[in-house]
Protein backbone atom coordinates (compact mmCIF):
# COMPACT_ATOMS: atom_id res chain seq x y z
CA UNK A 1 0.00 0.00 0.00
CA UNK A 2 1.25 3.47 -0.90
CA UNK A 3 1.77 5.81 2.05
CA UNK A 4 -0.43 8.91 2.17
CA UNK A 5 1.63 11.99 1.32
CA UNK A 6 0.62 15.51 2.33
CA UNK A 7 2.16 18.45 0.54
CA UNK A 8 2.03 21.29 3.06
CA UNK A 9 2.52 24.94 2.11
CA UNK A 10 2.87 27.36 5.03
CA UNK A 11 2.43 31.00 4.05
CA UNK A 12 2.89 34.19 6.04
CA UNK A 13 0.92 37.08 4.56
CA UNK A 14 1.50 40.77 5.21
CA UNK A 15 -1.64 42.31 6.69
CA UNK A 16 -1.71 44.93 3.91
CA UNK A 17 -2.64 42.24 1.33
CA UNK A 18 -4.38 39.74 3.62
CA UNK A 19 -7.92 40.11 2.24
CA UNK A 20 -6.76 40.12 -1.39
CA UNK A 21 -4.62 37.00 -0.74
CA UNK A 22 -7.51 35.14 0.95
CA UNK A 23 -9.67 35.69 -2.12
CA UNK A 24 -6.82 34.64 -4.45
CA UNK A 25 -5.73 31.52 -2.53
CA UNK A 26 -9.17 29.91 -2.76
CA UNK A 27 -8.99 30.13 -6.56
CA UNK A 28 -5.37 28.97 -6.51
CA UNK A 29 -6.22 25.86 -4.47
CA UNK A 30 -8.81 24.89 -7.08
CA UNK A 31 -6.16 25.32 -9.80
CA UNK A 32 -3.77 23.04 -7.92
CA UNK A 33 -6.50 20.42 -7.49
CA UNK A 34 -7.31 20.73 -11.21
CA UNK A 35 -3.87 19.31 -12.02
CA UNK A 36 -5.33 15.93 -11.06
CA UNK A 37 -2.43 15.10 -8.77
CA UNK A 38 -4.17 15.63 -5.42
CA UNK A 39 -7.18 14.07 -3.73
CA UNK A 40 -8.10 17.00 -1.50
CA UNK A 41 -6.92 20.22 0.12
CA UNK A 42 -7.42 21.98 3.45
CA UNK A 43 -6.91 25.69 4.06
CA UNK A 44 -6.15 26.39 7.71
CA UNK A 45 -5.12 29.47 9.66
CA UNK A 46 -2.22 29.12 12.08
CA UNK A 47 -3.44 30.36 15.45
CA UNK A 48 -0.05 31.12 16.97
CA UNK A 49 1.09 34.71 16.39
CA UNK A 50 4.36 35.02 14.50
CA UNK A 51 7.17 37.30 15.69
CA UNK A 52 7.48 38.62 12.15
CA UNK A 53 3.84 39.75 12.17
CA UNK A 54 1.33 39.13 9.44
CA UNK A 55 -1.12 36.25 9.27
CA UNK A 56 -0.01 32.65 8.71
CA UNK A 57 -1.88 29.90 6.88
CA UNK A 58 -1.23 26.28 6.07
CA UNK A 59 -2.57 24.66 2.93
CA UNK A 60 -2.44 20.87 3.06
CA UNK A 61 -2.82 18.99 -0.21
CA UNK A 62 -3.23 15.21 -0.03
CA UNK A 63 -1.34 13.76 -2.98
CA UNK A 64 -2.74 10.84 -4.94
CA UNK A 65 0.71 9.20 -4.58
CA UNK A 66 4.40 10.00 -4.24
CA UNK A 67 4.64 9.73 -8.02
CA UNK A 68 1.78 12.20 -8.48
CA UNK A 69 3.56 14.72 -6.24
CA UNK A 70 6.77 14.29 -8.23
CA UNK A 71 4.81 14.92 -11.44
CA UNK A 72 3.28 18.03 -9.86
CA UNK A 73 6.77 19.39 -9.20
CA UNK A 74 7.87 18.58 -12.77
CA UNK A 75 4.76 19.72 -14.65
CA UNK A 76 2.86 22.31 -12.61
CA UNK A 77 4.60 23.76 -9.54
CA UNK A 78 6.73 26.42 -11.23
CA UNK A 79 3.81 27.81 -13.27
CA UNK A 80 1.46 27.89 -10.28
CA UNK A 81 4.03 29.42 -7.91
CA UNK A 82 4.99 32.13 -10.40
CA UNK A 83 1.57 33.80 -10.20
CA UNK A 84 1.86 34.21 -6.42
CA UNK A 85 5.36 35.67 -6.68
CA UNK A 86 4.30 38.15 -9.35
CA UNK A 87 1.11 39.13 -7.53
CA UNK A 88 2.34 39.35 -3.92
CA UNK A 89 6.14 39.62 -4.24
CA UNK A 90 7.74 40.54 -0.91
CA UNK A 91 4.42 40.64 0.99
CA UNK A 92 4.28 36.85 1.19
CA UNK A 93 6.71 34.28 2.58
CA UNK A 94 6.08 30.59 1.84
CA UNK A 95 7.79 27.35 2.68
CA UNK A 96 6.87 23.85 1.71
CA UNK A 97 7.14 20.49 3.44
CA UNK A 98 6.19 16.95 2.56
CA UNK A 99 4.55 14.85 5.24
CA UNK A 100 4.05 11.08 5.26
CA UNK A 101 1.00 9.94 7.21
CA UNK A 102 2.05 7.07 9.48
CA UNK A 103 -1.28 6.38 11.18
CA UNK A 104 -4.66 8.09 11.41
CA UNK A 105 -6.93 7.83 14.43
CA UNK A 106 -10.59 8.74 14.61
CA UNK A 107 -12.79 9.24 17.62
CA UNK A 108 -15.46 6.59 17.35
Task: Please write the tens of the pLDDT for every residue from 87-96.
Answer: 998 899 999 9
b/e sequence 62-86, b meaning 16+ C-beta within 10 Å: bbbeeebbebbeeebbeeeeeebee
**Nearest to 68, CA basis, from 103, 40, 95:** 40
pLDDT, one tens digit per residue, over 8-67 is 999 999 999 999 999 999 999 999 999 999 999 999 999 987 677 899 999 999 999 999
Domain 12-96: state its class. Answer: alpha beta
Mean pLDDT of the chain: 93
Grade residue 69 by pLDDT with cuts at 50, 70 and 90.
very high
Amino acid sequence: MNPKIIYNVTVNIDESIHEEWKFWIKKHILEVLATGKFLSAKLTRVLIEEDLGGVTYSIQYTAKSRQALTLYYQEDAERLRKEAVLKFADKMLAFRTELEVIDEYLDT
